[in-house]
Chains A and B, each alone.
Chain A
Amino acid sequence: MSSVDRPVRAYVESTIIMTTARIVSPFVFTFGLFVMFHGAESAGGGFQGGAIVASSIIVVAFAFGIEPTRQWLDDSIFRLLIAGGAAAFALIGLGAMALGGAFLEYAVYNISHGVKYGIELVELGIGATVAGVIVSLFMNLAAGLTNDADGGDET
């Protein structure tokens, strides 16, 4: 029977996948943060780092089940990340205007290496927004599936 309607499969525990995810995901997460913070010196930046950070959380969700992961990391955390990241970027720009410079003119922040830190903060903001959007997309796309599996009715 080449299936025309494929039943939604519930989450199945796998020791191998869980162990691999447990070992790999912290490193992936750290690498994502490295790419985000280190975008100023080497390849990378907020966008790439955010995607890598998000993928480390997706790995965890695949290994340990999407529903437990959603209970562990509440949706509101990611809403906060999405809004906070974009807001941080805009506020850094507006803050420069408040200090009498042009929009996003990092040099008016009167701290040493202000331009560099400004750029890194901006990258961090982008990273937070990107990571939040990706993880939220994943969780919300998967939400219906787990509901089906819990309810046990396949439609």
Chain B
Amino acid sequence: MSDVQLPVIAILLTFVVCAALAAAFLRDILSAIIAFAGFSFGVSIVYILLRAPDVALTEAAVGAGVTTVLFLLTIVRTVRPGGDRLFERIKVVPALLATGLVAVLLTTMRSLPRVGDPNSPVATSEITRYYLENAYPQTEVENVVTAILAAYRGFDTLGEAAVVLAAGVAVLVVLRKEVYV
């Protein structure tokens, strides 16, 4: 990772953490949703800097865009809590649980490879080499991610499409019943 990117990533990560904390602690749900959208947008830019444009596009379109809109539509049906407090009162047990989980996850950080490490298992793996060498000759598709998703792992992707279809149909059936009965 180049020297220019490091401060940018540091600023972005600070922003992302602040937005996440704001989303968790703000009392007003509308503010929390906006903070959550900001969090998603920040994370998507982090993904771009980490050279994962496919994931970044998904995060920006679904996380920052569509989810926010669906949340907004949902809270119109809810009530706003009374009182003028800006932040939610912190409950001790869930806060301890969440902190403990983060601590456990942080212990795994040391065994992760550094960003851009040429000796990381992913870069040196036989499978990575196979896909990079054969994806274009075998599928004529320049984006290896697409080649893996739609050709090598096409059956998995069909399963994903089926999940989207089934979940969508199920939710739509429930929603429709609520509206028209």
Contact = CB atoms under 8 A, between A and B. Distances in A.
Interface of A: 2-6, 8, 35, 39-45, 47-48, 51-52, 54-55, 58, 62, 82-83, 85-86, 89-90, 93, 103-104, 106, 113, 115-116, 119, 122-123, 125-126, 129-130, 132-134, 136-138, 140-145, 147
24 contacts: A6-B79, A40-B147, A42-B143, A43-B56, A43-B145, A45-B145, A47-B58, A51-B66, A55-B61, A83-B165, A86-B162, A89-B157, A90-B158, A93-B154, A106-B139, A123-B146, A137-B168, A137-B171, A138-B73, A140-B172, A140-B179, A144-B77, A145-B73, A145-B76
A141 B149 CA distance: 31
A51 B151 contact: no
Interface stretch (B3-11, B35-43, B80-88, B120-128): B80-88
B143 A137 contact: no
A134 B167 CA distance: 11
B81 to A, nearest CB: 8
Interface string B34-57: 000000000000000000011011
Nearest to A86: B165
B62 interface: yes
A116 B137 CA distance: 11
B54 A45 contact: yes
Interface of B: 53-54, 56-58, 61-62, 65-66, 69-70, 73-74, 76-77, 79-80, 82-84, 138-143, 145-147, 149-151, 154-155, 157-158, 160-162, 164-165, 167-169, 171-172, 175-176, 178-179
Given A43-B54, A43-B57, A129 B79 contact: no
Nearest to A1: B82
A41 B172 CA distance: 34
Contact of A2 (B62, B82, B142, B165): B82
Contacts of B164: 86, 126, 129-130, 133
A142 to B, nearest CB: 5
Contacts of A55: 61, 65-66, 69
Given A52-B61, A89-B161, A45 B149 contact: yes
A54 B69 CA distance: 11
A137 B171 CA distance: 8
Given A126-B161, A137-B70, A138-B69, A40 B79 contact: no
Contacts of A85: 161
A90 to B, nearest CB: 7
A145 B76 CA distance: 8
Nearest to B158: A89
B168 A48 contact: no
Contacts of A137: 70, 168, 171-172, 175
A136 B160 CA distance: 19
B142 A133 contact: no
Contacts of A106: 139, 151
B143 A58 contact: no
A54 to B, nearest CB: 7
